[in-house]
Structure 1
Amino acid sequence: MSNETEPAPAAHGQPTLKAIADAVGVHVSTVSRALKRDPESPDASKSVRRIHRIAEQMGYRPNLMAAGLRTNRSYTIGVVMPRLTDVVIAQTCEAIEEAATAAGYQILLATPPDEVNAQLQSIQMLASRRIDGLIVSSIHLDRPDMVEEILRAGIPTIAVNRRADGKLHAVTTDDYHGGYLAGEHLVNLGHRRIGIVAGPRHASTAWDRTQGCIEAITSRGIEVDEELIVHTDFEVQGGISGAHRLLNLADPPTAIFAVNDTAAIGVAGAVRDRGLSIPRDISLVGYNDIPLVSQLPVPFTTISSPAAPMGSVALQQLLRGINEGEMSSLKLPVSLIVRASTTVPRQN
């Protein structure tokens, strides 16, 4: 049992730093330094966490306006995140906001279309609000000028979800490995004609997952015809159109890998509309493991990717950039979840 008595809340307004210092039994300067640290940071000491806990129990809340005047900071993070209707993007955004709030920051969210010029306009708008840092979720691989424009703004910036080829630090999941796991699973089941609903060419998520799947197939000595790779968007309609193109081939695939679950739902609809069934006629693998796909009449085999941790880790890296001038690019691990939508190919 702890001997530490719980401090009483402040009777009127916020407690002073001296009151917190007296409750903790340390000098005021120690409290001041500790309250400027993020208690959730992996390198935060037990002392820092204890001071934050006691300060919170006493009713202390950081005065961001006063702190901003002292440090020339706004304690505001700009977030540019198109496609909030996407479950993965929404989970990532929610995690960013929760982590920012815990660290004493607020976020300004912009949700432009997934188009370069619209995103750059949003970034310019956020920069005019004196943000301390920026998180961008939808970098376009085919537009290096997008990254150049972002860097020109002179604001600590990190990409999330999609990578940006070196010039900009990014926190992503290991999309290449996820694609490899999908292709490996289908080949191990005996499939030799595997179609890929590959998503848009400008998105690193789509590109890396597709290339990983192709590598898994070709490493087994199986050729992947170009006609088996269909680029669409990430939406249900993209999955529908991609599946119809694959199923219209003279030699259609026995399995389809869709690079996200939303497109995989469209693929399943197209298979159904043709009077075929999953997995008897077509095996199907999705990507992301959104909550819906485990509850479908035929639950999807898919790749589980950590959307929420990706957001909180991106925020932590950005705060490192703001406070220490250093950030790191990270890839979070993914895993294969096998369910009922995949099986051995049907014999003709």
Structure 2
Amino acid sequence: MDGPGRAPTLREIAERAGVHVSTASRVLRQPEPVDGWSESALRVRAAADELGYQRNLWAASLRTRRTTTLGVVMPRLTDGVVATTYQGIEEAATRAGYSVLLSSPPDNLAAQRRAIELLVGRQVDGLLLSGLHTPGRAFVDSLPVGRVPMVAVTRHGEAGLPFVGADDVRGGRLAARHLLDRGYADIAIIAGPAHASTANDRLAGCTAELADAGIPLSPRRVRRSSFDVDGGIEAGHALLDAADRPRAVFAVSDTVALGVLGVARDLRLRVPEDLALIGYNDIPTVAQLPVPLTTIRSPARDIGAAAIRALLDMVDGREPDPRLLPVELVVRATT
């Protein structure tokens, strides 16, 4: 090297590693392979580190017309399940050699539109959209994204996009079947917000399972709520502080179920003797409660990783692999 500030050339790196220049170029522009680096690739990367090589991402983007950056729009990032899903997204993107630009706008369409427009302006190679409202097709069709590939994650919003999420209809069925097997026929559902496809799918699954068992669900046994403890408290009071309270409640999120548990405690109801309760997601705290919560476990981190794989398929011009990942019943003391 001629001076302390000059960047090394590919030829210098190749000579030090004992490989052809084309091999050095290929190694330095690709992400780490799933099965690890070969011996020659390790020599190239060691030589690049020793010589102080740094890849010029701007120049690379001009050659490939890619920025190796993905945009993620994910409201409610303070929610533990959403945050875990994002961990899976970022880990999978990093392994594939991509960086992530995250926007966590308020959970409404206008804020999400602004976030998407800003990310498209940053020339991201693809977009993961979480928190889509139902119905969301008109919203998606109106987005000024050009040819940027898009995948919906966690909520599909009936938007017509490739979707990766949990099999929430199956989860609703599992919850209802478990309560029926335990002998509970008078079941209420705290169904979450009406604009959330996850909530609607869980409600649909539970309702279908009850109908298959010959138990029609009365509208008065369905309460909408926000996806938080306060929503559970409000809906819990409406259901439980009444003479005809149900014998069992399915809450479509664990945080809602926590609110219901607080109401049951205040009303001096014993769980599960007076009230059976089942939640959804299996957040870490619910196994440690004084009465551990029965719940449906959703694979949040795996969903994030699978969504990245589907999006990168689209970025590379392949058909994406939309998937519904399996959920499982976790039986604890509340049932």
C-alpha contact 2:72 2:103 (8 A) present in aligned 1? yes
C-alpha contact 2:88 2:301 (8 A) present in aligned 1? yes
CA distance in 1, matches of 2:208, 2:127: 34
Distance 1:177 1:48, change over 3 A: same
**Is 1:299 matched with 2:288?**
no
Matches for 1:88-103 after TM superposition, within 5 Å: 88-103=81-96
Q: State the one-letter code of the partner of 2:74.
A: M
Matches for 1:1-348 after TM superposition, within 5 Å: 27-33=20-26, 36-39=29-32, 55-58=44-47, 59=49, 62-150=55-143, 152-165=145-158, 167-342=160-335
Distance 1:195 1:29, change over 3 A: same
CA displacement 1:213-253 (0-9 Å, x = unmatched)? 11122211112111111111101111111111112454221
What percent of counterpart residues are identical? Answer: 46
Deviation at 1:13, TM superposition (A): 9.5
CA displacement 1:286-335 (0-9 Å, x = unmatched)? 10001010111111101111111111111121111112243221111111
Which SS does the other structure have where 1:278 is aligned? coil
Which SS does the other structure have where 2:304 is aligned? helix
Distance 1:184 1:61, change over 3 A: farther
Distance 1:21 1:216, change over 3 A: farther
Number of equivalent positions: 328
Deviation at 1:36, TM superposition (A): 4.5
CA displacement 1:21-42 (0-9 Å, x = unmatched)? 678876443454455554456x
Q: Which moved more, 1:228-237 or 1:163-172?
A: 163-172
Which SS does the other structure have where 2:307 is aligned? helix
CA distance in 2, matches of 1:227, 1:92: 33
CA distance in 1, matches of 2:69, 2:191: 36
- Where structure 2 has 5 or more consecutive residues not aligned to the other structure, the ranges are none
Q: State the one-letter code of the partner of 1:212.
A: G
CA displacement 1:256-282 (0-9 Å, x = unmatched)? 010011111111111111111211211
The TM-score normalised by the length of structure 2 is 0.89
Distance 1:319 1:189, change over 3 A: same
Q: State the one-letter code of the partner of 1:231.
A: R
Which SS does the other structure have where 1:217 is aligned? helix
C-alpha contact 1:37 1:48 (8 A) present in aligned 2? no
- Where structure 1 has 5 or more consecutive residues not aligned to the other structure, the ranges are 1-11, 343-348
RMSD: 2.6
The TM-score normalised by the length of structure 1 is 0.85
CA displacement 1:98-150 (0-9 Å, x = unmatched)? 22222222211111111011101111111111111111111111343222123
C-alpha contact 1:139 1:146 (8 A) present in aligned 2? no
CA distance in 2, matches of 1:232, 1:335: 24
C-alpha contact 1:92 1:311 (8 A) present in aligned 2? yes
